[in-house]
Structure 1
Amino acid sequence: MAKAVTEIRSLARSHTRTALNVLVAVMRNTKATPPARVAAANAILDRGWGKPTQSLGNDENALELIHRIERVIVQPDHVDAENPDRESL
C-alpha cells in the first residue's frame, strides 16, 4: 500500500509545473469568475508561502480551550464546575 501512495505522490508531483501554470492562467484570466481567480491566487500563495496560521482568539480563550481539552483527555470523568449536571465537552 505504501508503494502505491509513493507512486501516486510522485506522479502528481511530476505535474506540478503544469498545475501551477494553470492556476496562474486562471488567476490572470479577467473572464474567469472572481471566486475562481481568488481560489487560484490562494492556492498559489499556499504552495509558495504555506497556509497562514489561524489564531484561536485572545490568549485567555486559547488557554481556556487548552484547559478544557486537557480535562476531557486527562480527566474524562471531570464534571464541569459551572454546570454540575453536565459533563465537560
Structure 2
Amino acid sequence: MKLLTHNMLTSHVKGVTKGYPLIIKATEVKVSELEFNAQFVSRMIPKLEWSALIQAAEWVEVIEGCLQCPESGREFPISKGVPNMLLNDGE
C-alpha cells in the first residue's frame, strides 16, 4: 500500500464518525525510491491531507499488516501492499 493510497482511505464502519486517518500496523514494510514526477505531484497536492501524510510517512510503505480505525478499532488487512477495505454484513 502506497502512502498516497493511505491518505485517501477512511473507515466506513457503521456508527464511526472519526474513521480517519487509519492507523498503520505493519508486519512487513518496503522502502522504494522513485523518480520525481512533477506532473503527478502537482495533481495530487490539492487532494492530500498533509498531517495524515506526514504521519504515514513515518510508518513507511506497508507490504503486510493492517489499517486500524482510530474510533472503532476495526482492522482492515493489507496483503501484498493492497488494503482490503470491504465491510462485513452489518458493518
Bucket of the pairwise TM-score, normalised by the shorter protein: under 0.3
Q: Larger % of helix: which? A: 1
| Larger Rg over CA atoms | 1
Q: Larger % of strand: which? A: 2
TM-score normalised by structure 1 residue count: 0.22
